[in-house]
Chain A
Amino acid sequence: EVQLVQSGAEVKKPGESLKISCQGSGYSFPNYWIAWVRQMPGKGLEWMGIIYPGDSHTRYSPSFQGQVTMSVDKSASTAYLQWSSLKASDTAMYYCARRQIGPESTVNWFDTWGQGTLVTVSS
């Protein structure tokens, strides 16, 4: 069974750093892009960026470029999302999701999602 398991909820203060994780299992982790998606309280889904575990190639949404850093540890089948200095406005649920691709490269969607990591930033 394909699974993405995320790290647990975090409570941090503004200015602190944080790294959350997403571990894949049940498939060849290096061969599938992993996306990160933010959901602020009571709001919709926002795509943050995507990383290819095979070579750590990344693409960021302009809205999140420079605000977060994605990375992977292929040997641990784990993707990471990190902040160097959190703000109260980073309070949200963060999901990782596996990208699946169709017969054409222009057809791609997210077929498996992690359970989410709730990040709360408050003084």
Chain B
Amino acid sequence: SYVLTQPPSVSVAPGQTARITCGGINIGSESVHWYQQKPGQAPILVVYDDTDRPSGIPERFSGSNSGNTATLTITRVEAGDEADYYCQVWDSNSDQYVFGTGTKVTVL
């Protein structure tokens, strides 16, 4: 089945930019979605269809997708952005939903 690989952790200072990658074979041809999960909470959607943001999600969150890598970018990082982040695709070949391995973002 389709595999999505994320770095286990990313550290960033407040006010700086965090970039979280999601690697998969030819992922650029897929639609990628991103979820934020804070400790003890359910995941929430922060980016869908590669680049779109649900209402209520700050513009600081943006997505891109090309080639074998999709990226979630968080600009002007705040302490409240500290969380686990997961990418997700629907694998049409197997008709399965696939989550990435997850990335823990730490704000220094």
Residues of A within 8 A of B (CB): 35, 37, 44-47, 50, 59, 61-62, 95, 97, 100, 102, 104, 106-111, 113-116
Contact = CB atoms under 8 A, between A and B. Distances in A.
B42 A113 contact: yes
Interface of A is mostly: strand
A45 B43 contact: yes
Given A45-B86, A45-B99, A45-B102, A107 B42 contact: no
Given A95-B43, A113-B43, A47 B48 contact: no
Contacts of B88: 45, 109-110
Given A45-B86, A108-B90, A113-B44, A61 B96 contact: yes
A114 B43 CA distance: 9
B64 interface: no
Given A108-B90, A116-B42, A47 B54 contact: no
Contact of B49 (A47, A102, A113): A102
Contacts of B100: 44
Given A45-B102, A47-B96, 16 more contacts: A44-B84, A44-B101, A50-B97, A59-B95, A61-B96, A95-B42, A106-B31, A106-B90, A107-B49, A109-B33, A109-B48, A109-B49, A110-B35, A110-B45, A111-B45, A116-B42
B97 A44 contact: no
Nearest to A6: B42
A35 B92 CA distance: 16
- 9 smallest CB-CB distances across A and B, nearest first, come from A109-B33, A47-B97, A44-B102, A107-B31, A45-B99, A113-B42, A109-B48, A116-B42, A107-B49
